Each structure stands twice: as structure tokens, then as C-alpha cells.
Amino acid sequence: GKVDKGADFANYFCTYAFLYHQKEMLSDRVRMDAYYDSIFKNARHFKGKTVLDVGTGSGILAIWSAQAGARKVYAVEATDMATHARALVAGNGMENIVEVIEGSVEDITLPEQVDIIISEWMGYFLVRESMFDSVIYARDKWLKPTGMMYPSHARMWLAPMQTSLGERKIQEYQHAMNDWSRFTQETSDQYGVDMRVLNDPYREEQRKYFLQTSVWNSLHPNQVIGAPALVKEFDCLTATLDETASVRSQFRIPIDSGNAKIAGFAGWFDVHFRGCPSDPADNEVELTTAPSVDDTTHWGQQVFLLHPPISTRNGDILVGELEITRSKQNHRLMDVKIAHALERRGSPPAQPTISNFFIE
Amino acid sequence: GKVDKGADFANYFCTYAFLYHQKEMLSDRVRMDAYYDSIFKNARHFKGKTVLDVGTGSGILAIWSAQAGARKVYAVEATDMATHARALVAGNGMENIVEVIEGSVEDITLPEQVDIIISEWMGYFLVRESMFDSVIYARDKWLKPTGMMYPSHARMWLAPMQTSLGERKIQEYQHAMNDWSRFTQETSDQYGVDMRVLNDPYREEQRKYFLQTSVWNSLHPNQVIGAPALVKEFDCLTATLDETASVRSQFRIPIDSGNAKIAGFAGWFDVHFRGCPSDPADNEVELTTAPSVDDTTHWGQQVFLLHPPISTRNGDILVGELEITRSKQNHRLMDVKIAHALERRGSPPAQPTISNFFIE
Ligand SMILES: Nc1ncnc2c1ncn2[C@@H]1O[C@H](CSCC[C@H](N)C(=O)O)[C@@H](O)[C@H]1O
Ligand SMILES: Nc1ncnc2c1ncn2[C@@H]1O[C@H](CSCC[C@H](N)C(=O)O)[C@@H](O)[C@H]1O
């Protein structure tokens, strides 16, 4: 479908126009260290080269690229943040190397092809925001055949987990439905209008909100109760728009913890900076958003809660399929379908249960 | 300026597509009682008449109009809520009288002119959301020359007030700026980029957010420390788009409470149901959102905080001017300028101080 640019700006880009929001990303140590190391520990890649920074925001990656020795950096930013990036570039003495261009990377023109595309395009569970599309677009249009991508690879992970979050959500949902009952009674008594014909739509709306919308969480590693399944690996040099438009993957996960309850699934991602096959990184860098005690990120994990949770026994195997597609209303949000069943020693395979979620 | 429809839908209409949000309005007793009474205590106005409900939402006002005896009600709603309104109409046996039409009132066509336009179009401080524009548009296109408006009049009020909210906002602002200092220091130490060139833009952004954006509040009447000034009265039958596009008004308010500090201004509105000159209401109804102990509304009041507050003595007179214009970025939001000075017995008139605010 065609994207309404006005709506896309109102829904998506507007938040990036605030320094406050850029600051949140710039305060994410894990994120910052990974990009910083990827550039400065592989400065050889940047020396004398031309770089395109897709979505430069404050301009940080463009400035680092210049500091690492790039000859020229094109820093493209769709929002007014471009003005601040330009000031930051000048404030750090890089105005002869970094050129800030305000516009969507889809619309702008560069005077030359580039050696490196660098970008921080990752959303929750990697794919939210669909910004990778813009990077792919820029790559196909502006990257030299010999060029490389920073990051070079991206992976999505899914794991079963335990949490008490689901119970809280169920309570909130029940509270909302009780309140609706009270409300319909009052509206009928006081105002002579019977609202009960909207019971089902209201329930559906509240279910979606409380029970089917994935939840941001920063999980402790011991909440993960089975080996994470690799859902998808993108090679940023070759990934296609078809590949990003929908992700489908089967999983088969032995449950480690005895008698644990699977309260849901957690989704996260990592990206890697490996240079390219013909010119690998001197020092590979990984940025992971997996559950961690010390190295938490602003991405956290996306939690998909199961209602009710699944009781497991040691030796059970969780099998299923994950399918992620774009929301029809907003291409930057996702519909997620998880089909899952337990394989239990000595029992016939169970019918899979299908749970539908929304990444909002 | 021309309105981007996609952005307008994303920014404004989308919230109204949730039953949850309609329920909040339907749970506002003061609002509901006023509309209910205005219709049923003046049922004579509705008997056998044709009615247009601009922005029917759940359909409540359309159903009441039908219950009061209207011959035909056109219930226009821009969002998907129209589907639920249609169900509610049928669920209350009114499908032969109420016709729900999905679309902007600016775009749709009716088979006839109507006798009454009813609408609940009021936003914070009356004018936020700019929905009155749509009502005026509908009136000029679809109301019979002899027709009447429900409500018939709307008024805006401004009053000086005391509150400790301003101190909290100042603290939050200072906290944000201290955090920025720490952040620029760390970014420079750890990542070799000097962010201080963005100090001023960041300060401006945070000032706007914490200090210049009006705040929703439900005030106690005794927080008001001078007689409220009537800022504007709209006659809904004759008001023009020019009149709604900007509001400018002078005020002169004796301060009642001895030695109070004026911490800011509070803005609110009331609307009246008086029928029309040739056919006045049998029972006039008023819906007020003034500070109140018992009769609070979801609109509350909009508070414009002064930094620093103004110290007053009994007998001082607060003089000034209020100017409300539309935000350039979003015509449904407002820029507010308040010029104010104290007239003190025996002193020459002071230079006015000008404070700029945003209704977001
Ligand atoms: N198609 C596109 N063209 C240009 N900028 C885009 C874009 N899609 C997203 N962006 C911008 O990309 C940025 C992503 S956030 C990352 C900002 C910065 N590179 C950093 O690492 O700190 C946002 O500022 C957003 O406005
Ligand atoms: N130009 C327009 N055309 C049609 N509907 C509009 C409109 N502008 C706003 N609306 C709708 O008007 C409603 C205002 S809220 C009031 C809802 C309902 N009349 C009630 O009193 O409970 C919203 O549902 C909004 O979507």
C-alpha cells in the first residue's frame, strides 16, 4: 500500500524531532559503545572513504565517522533535527567533512556513490518502525558495488519466558470489563440508552489493549526458560524489501527449567559489525539487546503474554511458528501470530494454539 | 493553510475511534446531564424536527434527539466509531429515525436542510481541537434559515489563580537541565563529542515542555483569586470562522485575596442551550467547566503557569490581554500569549510582562 506521508510524519517522525528523544538514544551505553567501537576499532574502513548516515538524528554517527577519518559524510535526516545535527557538526569542527541533508533518504540526491552506509535503524524486536526499508532503499541507490554496511548483519530471537506481568494484565483487563458493566448499567438507568450491544466490541478493544499488545520489558536472564530460537538473520548487504515485509519462522525449544510456567515469549535482536566479505572488520563488534543484568538497552525486550500460561515439565519441547507481518493501518507497526504446542515425552503431538499479538 | 488530512487523522481523529475514549466522555456526568436536560426539557424543539449531530461518536446525542421525538436525525461521524454508533442506534430501536453517516461533515451530503444542529464540539479551554470550525461549516451548509443550534452559546473565561503546580514544574525543568549537563559531560568524556552547542535548543525545548505548555487541572474554586474575566462569547448561530481563528481580549481583574501569589491563569468555558431568538428554550440549560467541588468535568481547566508568580496585595488590579491563535504546525492546537501587569494603588502603571504558552 501507499504510505500517507502526512500521517507517517505525525505518527512516526515527530518524536525524533525532539532533542529529548535523541538524548535517550544517546544515553544508551550499550548502543553507544557498540557503534563507537565498531567505528573506531575499524577506523581503517573509514579512512579516506565516503559515508552515508541514514537517519543521522543528532549527527552522532556522522561525526564519529568523520573523526575516524572519513573523507566525506552525507548525514541525512528527515526531521527538523537536521538543524541541530548541523549545529553539532559545526560545534565539533566537522563542517568540512559532514554534510547534513534534511529530507527523507528516499527523496534526497547525493553527488556520488558511497563506500559505507551506517545507520541506527533498529526498532523494538528489530522490525518495529520498518526503518530498515529506508536503509535498503538507500543501499540499492547509493552504495558502491564494493561498499559495506554498518551494521552488516541483524538477527531476531524468540524465547519462552516466565513473568508475573500476565497476571497483572489479566487483572487490569478484568477491572476494565467490570467498569464497563457498571457503566452500561448507569447509562441505561440514568440516560435511557442501552449500551450492551457494544459489549463485544468493547471487550475486543480491551483484550487487544491489555492482552494482545506486546509489552516493553527489561527481563532478567533467568526469566528465560529455554534456549532462544533464532527467528531470522538479515545480511544487510543483500536483504530485500520482501524479506523485511514479513518474517516467518519455525521454532523447537527444549524447556530447561523443571515445572516452569511459560507465561509468554520474549523477542529481541542483535546486530553485528563485520565489515564485508571482501574486507572483513579488524574487530567484529556485536550489539545485543538480549535479557541482561548489566547491559540493558532502551530497546529492552518485547513480551508476548500467553493467557493462560502453559504449564511445562522438564523434557517438554515447545514447538511452533512465529509470523510477523505489517499492520494494515500503519506499516511501521506489526501484527504477530504465534502458533505453539508442547511436545511431551510419550504423548501424541498436541494441536497448536494460535495467539495473535500487536506490536504498537 | 491547507490541512493534511492524513496527519489530521493520525494526530486528532484516531483517539475518537476507541470506545474507551468515547466512554470517558459518556461517563462525564456534568456533560451528560447538561445535554440530556437540554434535549428532554426542551423536547418541544425536537418533536417532528430534523436534526444533524455533528460528530456523533457513540451516537448518544442522536439517540436522545430521536427519543425526544425528532422525525429524522443525521448522525455524522468521521471515524470508524460510526460502525458502533450504527449498532447502538439499532440496539435502541432507533434505526428508522437515526441515520449514521460515516465521513467528515465537510465531505458528506444530506438529502435535506435541518431544523437543529446538535454537537458536542468543545475542547480544552473551548477552542482546542478547533472542531467548532466543522460545526460552523455544517451550519452554513445544512441549517435552515429558521434553524437553531444546540448549544446556542459558548463562553470562555480566564481567572488568576494560586497553585503549587508551578514550583513542581520548575523543579522538573531544573532536574531535566541538570541531567542534560551531566549528559553533555559524559558524552564528551566517553564519546569525544561536545554537545554543548545544543544547550540553548535543549533549554528551549524543555522550557516549552515544562514551563510553557498549559496543564490540565481540576481546580478547587478557592484557588481562583479574582473575579473571572469573560474572554469571549460565541453566538453559535452567527459565529464566523474568522472569529474562531483567533481570540483576543483585554481583562481587568481586582484581586480579592489579601497577599496572595498569582501562580498563573486558569482558562475554562461554559456553553448554553437557549434555543434561538424566535423560539427560545422552555428551559435554558448551562454546562459549565468552571472550578467546582462537586461538578467537575473531564475538561477540567487549562492552567497557564507564571514563572515566577506575581506577589499581590489586596486592592491590586491585574490588567492585561489574552491572545489565542492557532499553532502553525497543527491547526487543532493553540498558541497563547498573555500580557499582564499589576495596577497598584498609588503607583504608576507597570510595564506588562508577556508570557507565551502552548495548548498541546
Ligand atoms: N527515511 C528516512 N530518511 C531520513 N531520516 C530518517 C528516515 N527514517 C528515519 N529517519 C530518522 O532516523 C533517525 C533514527 S534514530 C537514530 C539517530 C542517530 N543516527 C543515532 O544513532 O543516534 C531518526 O532521527 C529519524 O527521524
Ligand atoms: N469534521 C468532523 N466530521 C465528522 N465527525 C467529526 C468531525 N470532527 C470531529 N468529529 C467527531 O466528533 C466527535 C466529538 S466527541 C463527541 C461525541 C458524541 N457526540 C458525544 O457527545 O458523546 C468525535 O467522535 C470525532 O471523531
Question: B208-221, pLDDT tens digit by residue?
Answer: 999 999 999 999 99
Q: What whole-number distance in Å separates Cα of residue A196 and Cα of residue A192? A: 12
- Kind and range of the H or E element at A233? strand A229-235
Half-sphere exposure in the Cβ direction for A353 (13 Å, CA): 11
Residue B23 has what pLDDT?
97
Cα–Cα distance list, B313 to A329, B261, B304 (Å)? 57, 9, 21
What does the pLDDT look like over B53-75, one tens digit per residue? 999 999 999 999 999 999 999 99
Average pLDDT of every residue of chain B: 95
* Rg of the Cα atoms in chain B: 23
Average pLDDT of the residues in B180-200: 98
Residue B162 has what pLDDT?
95
What does the pLDDT look like over B295-325, one tens digit per residue? 999 999 999 999 999 999 888 999 999 999 9
Q: Which residues pair with A226 in a beta bridge?
A: A255
Q: What whole-number distance in Å separates Cα of residue A191 and Cα of residue A96? A: 69
Which ligand minimizes its atom distance to the CA of A55? 1
Q: What whole-number distance in Å separates Cα of residue B243 and Cα of residue B16? A: 26
Those residues with Cβ within 8 angstroms of residue B52's Cβ, 6 or more apart along the chain or in another chain: B73, B74, B76, B105, B110, B114, B116, B117, B118, B138, B142, B143
Question: B58–A196: do the CB atoms touch at under 8 Å?
Answer: no
Best to test chain A binding among B64, B198, B330, B333 (most A CBs inside 10 Å): B198
Residue B228 has what pLDDT?
97
B1 — pLDDT class (breaks 50, 70, 90): low
Question: A91–B67: do the CB atoms touch at under 8 Å?
Answer: no
DSSP count for chain A of H helices, then E strands: 11, 15
Question: A92–B20: do the CB atoms touch at under 8 Å?
Answer: no
Backbone angles phi, psi at A218, to 5 degrees: -110, 100
Our answer on whether the CB atom of A36 is closer than 6 Å to any ligand 1 atom is: no
Which ligand minimizes its atom distance to the CA of B75? 2
* Rg of the Cα atoms in chain A: 23
DSSP 8-state secondary structure symbol assigned to residue A126: B
Minimum-distance CB partner of B91 among A183, A197, A205: A197
- Kind and range of the H or E element at B123? none
Q: Which residue of A has its CA nearest to B62?
A: A193
Backbone angles phi, psi at B149, to 5 degrees: -110, 135
Ramachandran region, residue A76 (left: φ > 0; alpha: ψ -120 to 50; beta: rest): beta
Our answer on whether the CB atom of A273 is closer than 6 Å to any ligand 1 atom is: no
Our answer on whether the CB atom of B76 is closer than 6 Å to any ligand 2 atom is: yes
Name the 3-class secondary structure at A353.
strand
Backbone angles phi, psi at B113, to 5 degrees: -80, 160
Chain A: closest CA distance from residue B11 (Å): 6
Q: Which residues, given as ranges, of chain A have pLDDT below 70?
A: 1-2
Our answer on whether the CB atom of A152 is closer than 6 Å to any ligand 1 atom is: no
Interface residue ranges in chain B relative to chain A, Cβ cutoff 8 Å: 4-11, 18-20, 23, 26-27, 32, 36, 58, 60, 63-64, 67, 84, 87-88, 90-92, 176, 180, 183, 187, 190-198, 201-202, 205-206, 209
Length of chain B: 360
Q: What is the ipTM of this complex?
A: 0.93
CA A83 to ligand 1 centroid distance, Å: 13
Minimum-distance CB partner of A7 among B6, B91, B195: B6
C-alpha cell at A262: 511459560
Between helix A165-191 and helix B29-40 the angle, nearest 10°, is 20
Minimum-distance CB partner of A7 among B9, B32, B90: B9
Residue A260 has what pLDDT?
84
Residue B314 has what pLDDT?
82
B347 — pLDDT class (breaks 50, 70, 90): confident
Our answer on whether the CB atom of B61 is closer than 6 Å to any ligand 2 atom is: yes
Those residues with Cβ within 8 angstroms of residue A249's Cβ, 6 or more apart along the chain or in another chain: A158, A229, A230, A231, A232, A321, A322, A323
CB burial of residue A333 (10 Å; 0-12, 13-18, 19+) = buried
Q: Are strands B279-288 and B353-359 parallel, antiparallel or unpaired?
A: unpaired
Minimum-distance CB partner of B67 among A20, A192, A197: A192
Q: Whose CA is nearest to atom 19 of ligand 2?
A: B56
Q: Which residues pair with B72 in a beta bridge?
A: B50
Residue B315 has what pLDDT?
85
Question: A201–B87: do the CB atoms touch at under 8 Å?
Answer: yes
Residue B216 has what pLDDT?
97
Q: Whose CA is nearest to atom 6 of ligand 1?
A: A55
Residue A256 has what pLDDT?
82
Residue A1 has what pLDDT?
52
Cα–Cα distance list, B247 to A131, B130, B152, B250, B338 (Å)? 42, 12, 19, 10, 12
The answer to whether the CB of A226 falls within 8 A of the CB of A260 is no
- Kind and range of the H or E element at A20? helix A19-26
Question: B90–A197: do the CB atoms touch at under 8 Å?
Answer: yes
Count Cβ–Cβ pairs < 8 Å, chain A vs chain B.
112
Catalytic positions of B: 120, 129
What does the pLDDT look like over B71-119, one tens digit per residue? 999 999 999 999 999 999 999 999 999 999 999 999 999 999 999 999 9
Those residues with Cβ within 8 angstroms of residue B314's Cβ, 6 or more apart along the chain or in another chain: B255, B256, B257, B258, B259
Backbone angles phi, psi at B128, to 5 degrees: -60, 140
Backbone angles phi, psi at B116, to 5 degrees: -135, 135
CA A299 to ligand 1 centroid distance, Å: 16
B127 — pLDDT class (breaks 50, 70, 90): very high
